[in-house]
Amino acid sequence: MSKLSLSIATLLGADSRRDIESAISKIRDLYGFAHMTFLSVGISAGERAQWAFCTTYPGEWTSRYLERNYFRIDPVVAIYRTGFQPVDWASLAEFSD
């Protein structure tokens, strides 16, 4: 089974938030990523952003991100608002060396 097929099967088997957290940890390890986040961003009828996420980032960083409302300025979140696609930070020009 390919990495992609295994990743999709792992996510499809998730029935709860805990399952998604476990799935993204497995996928992160499968690809050798440092961290991984599963993010869902939507806009309600009132144009107020609604989001849900699971992440492998440390709790301290996640708390800081939420406290400072980084969703508002995160360039990856901006990409998610335009469609559904995975985002590789290395491919973003402002973060590349």
pLDDT in tens, 48-78: 566 778 899 999 999 999 899 888 888 777 7
Q: Cα angle at 34 between 73 and 1, to 5 degrees?
A: 115
Mean pLDDT for the chain?
81
- Rounded Cα gap, residues 16 and 45, in angstroms: 26
What is the enclosing helix (H) or strand (E) of 41? Answer: strand 37-43
Closest CA to 89 of 81, 10, 77: 77
Task: Give the global pTM.
Answer: 0.69
